[in-house]
Amino acid sequence: MSAELPERQAFIGVGTMGSLMAGRLLDAGVDLTVFDIRREAADPLIQRGARWAASAENAASGCEVLWTSLPGPAQVESVLLGNEAAVLSALPDGAVLSALPDGAVLSALPDGAVLVDTTTNDPDVARRVADTCAGRGIAMLDAPVSGRPPAMTMMVGGDPSVYEKALPSLETVAAQIFYVGPSGAGCVAKLATQYMGYTNLIAAIEGMLIARMGGVDPAVLAKIVPVSSGASRAFNAIPNSVLNGSFQAGGTLDIVAKDVALACALAQRENAPASTGEAANTLYRQAQEAGWGSEGYPIVARILEAMAHTELRSE
């Protein structure tokens, strides 16, 4: 192992994304401790050599670098700042948590430790966490990610010297790393890219419906778009999951709706134009209200199909 790569690290939140990043750290030989409110999520990592912690606080105790990958701002506040009311208010009706972190994580970290939060978060929450960390002698980077290892992209906000210190660990997880600016800047960059991608998906679905209602086979148009001005990464979800009716994707509707809502809220705070995003935000929210939150995010197409009174299923 490189002498520059901190040996004792911990990871809180080893769900879909967190487990992939934690796995990269294990591959690099890091002495890794993991915690998740669902023990079963950590089992594959434990089988590969990670140590299980009985609580988030225990995971943080004594580690040099602490990673977090959490569902959103409410969970970040709960785990890192102890705001349990925030995470409870964010739960859907009927949801039950098997355990709730106690918010004592930061007090368990030693002086000089680095917190790397990879959550797609509200920049204001990221800044509050960074300020709290600074008061306790802890450095913090907001480092949300896009894609999956080994081709993962990371956008980092925080002190430049902390970024340089943490870079060997960051490079273990991500292939493309961009230092964006001070605390919160990583989250701003991530929300901007999410805004672009998932508003683009809505426009692409609408374009497909226009063609379908104008007499063009969606399967034919799906071959034209990638070699025309309509090409985009977001469009790929349409031939891959909308035309066949599976609506499967790497992320759920709830995750995408959360990110678009956060991006629109950021735009409002900054007095930035976001009319396209507000329209998309409404559609994603309508899909959630239809009960599809746990489905793949392309299921938002069903809202637009209902408005058009037609479907995009390919023959």
Confirm if 104 and 57 have CB atoms less than 8 A apart: yes
Is 107 within 8 Å of 60 (Cβ atoms)? no
Residue extents of the structural domains in the chain:
8-182, 189-308
Per-residue pLDDT at 195: 98
Q: Give the mean pLDDT of the chain.
A: 92
Residue pair 51/26 in contact by the 8 Å Cβ criterion: no
Q: How far apart are CA 69 and CA 174, in angstroms?
A: 14
Q: What is the pTM of this model?
A: 0.91
In the prediction, which pLDDT does 269 show?
98
pLDDT of residue 313: 87
Q: What is the mean pLDDT of residues 84-100?
A: 46
pLDDT of residue 100: 42
Q: Which of left, alpha, beta for 126 (phi over 0: left; psi -120 to 50: alpha)?
A: alpha
**Each residue's pLDDT tens digit, 151-210:** 999 999 999 999 999 999 999 999 999 999 999 999 999 999 999 999 999 999 999 999
Tens-digit pLDDT profile for residues 239-269:
999 999 999 998 999 999 999 999 999 999 9
Which candidate, 110, 114, 116, 103, places its Cα nearest to that of 62? 110
Q: Which CATH code is given to the segment(s) 8-182? A: 3.40.50.720
What is the model's pLDDT at position 175?
98
Which two structure tokens, joined as six digits, stand for 37?
Answer: 């409110």
Please, which residues have CB within 8 angstroms of residue 175's CB and are 6 or more apart in sequence? 149, 150, 151, 152, 153
pLDDT at 99 over 80: no
pLDDT at 105 over 60: yes
- Euclidean distance between CA atoms 83 and 315, whole angstroms: 51
What pLDDT shows up at residue 92?
Answer: 52
Structural fold of domain 189-308: N-(1-d-carboxylethyl)-l-norvaline Dehydrogenase; domain 2 (1.10.1040)
The pLDDT confidence band at residue 102, using thresholds 50, 70 and 90, is very low
- Identify the band that residue 315 occupies on the pLDDT scale cut at 50, 70 and 90: low
Q: Is the pLDDT of residue 2 over 80?
A: no
Quickly state the pLDDT bin for 4 (edges 50, 70, 90): confident
Q: Is 183 helix (H, G, I), strand (E, B) or coil?
A: coil
In degrees and rounded to multiples of 5, residue 58 shows phi and psi of -65, -35
- Contact between residue 64 and residue 9 where contact means Cβ atoms under 8 Å apart: yes
